């Protein structure tokens, strides 16, 4: 491609840190098992449209991996039906099975929520082994390369991307540093999915 006036002025993309893997092939998620990799990202388009989320509740439950789709459908049945509800249930179930592949978990804790504020806006590492995060619509999770100062310009996933974030239980002080994008006061919202190993107090 011959550079245009616009493309010629764009800075080259920042090199990817050695502890992060990003690819359009979902097989990239398997790289999270490599000891030095703390973030693996499957780049994909969001399977959902840009839905109206005004009445979307927080959905949170623990379940056997095979029962996740039914749990999501039951929660969405309390809302006015939308064509994308089934797409969401199927996708959450698919991502649950991917998560179980790299954790060996037979049960998971699932959280799907509309986010309108800053949430976990400070950079931090999670006290978990492995966490799957995807943002179906809106700004997605931001992360920092290792040893980057907090004031560094963060990198970010895009809507639809699926990230496996290695926490302190697996990576100790090398756990991936990340945060929710600060959107309070902007009028933006996000539809967020988080999949974890179940907490001890989680209900069936």
What is the domain range of residue 155? 16-196
Note whether residue 76 is domain-resident.
yes
Instruction: Return the closest-CA partner of residue 53 out of 120, 110, 135, 131.
Output: 135
- Number of structural domains found in the chain: 1
Helix count and strand count (H, E) for the chain: 4, 10
pLDDT confidence band for 204 (50 / 70 / 90): very low
Mean per-residue pLDDT, 81-107: 95
Note whether residue 202 is domain-resident.
no
> For residue 178, what is the domain's CATH number?
2.60.120
Note whether residue 188 is domain-resident.
yes
Note whether residue 130 is domain-resident.
yes
pTM summary value: 0.89
Residue 151, burial from CB neighbour count under 10 angstroms (0-12, 13-18, 19+) = exposed
**Segment 133-144, tens digit of pLDDT:** 999 999 999 999
Percent pLDDT > 90 in the chain is 72
Note whether residue 6 is domain-resident.
no
pLDDT at 2 over 70: no
């Amino acid at each position: 491609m011959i550079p245009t006036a616009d493309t010629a002025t764009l800075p080259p993309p920042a090199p990817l840190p050695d502890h992060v893997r990003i690819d359009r092939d979902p097989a990239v998620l398997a790289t999270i098992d490599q000891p030095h990799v703390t973030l693996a990202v499957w780049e994909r388009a969001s399977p959902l449209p840009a839905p109206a989320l005004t009445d979307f509740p927080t959905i949170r439950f623990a379940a056997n991996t095979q029962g996740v789709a039914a749990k999501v459908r039951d929660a969405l049945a309390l809302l006015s039906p939308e064509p994308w509800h089934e797409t969401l249930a199927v996708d959450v179930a698919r991502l649950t099975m991917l998560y179980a592949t790299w954790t060996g978990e037979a049960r998971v804790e699932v959280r799907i929520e509309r986010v309108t504020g800053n949430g976990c806006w400070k950079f931090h590492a999670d006290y978990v082994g492995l966490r799957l995060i995807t943002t179906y619509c809106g700004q997605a999770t931001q992360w920092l390369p290792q040893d980057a100062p907090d004031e560094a310009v963060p990198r970010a996933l895009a809507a639809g991307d699926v990230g496996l974030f290695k926490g302190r239980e697996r990576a100790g002080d090398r756990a991936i540093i990340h945060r929710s994008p600060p959107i309070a006061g902007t009028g933006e919202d996000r539809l967020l999915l988080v999949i974890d190993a179940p907490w001890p107090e989680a209900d069936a």
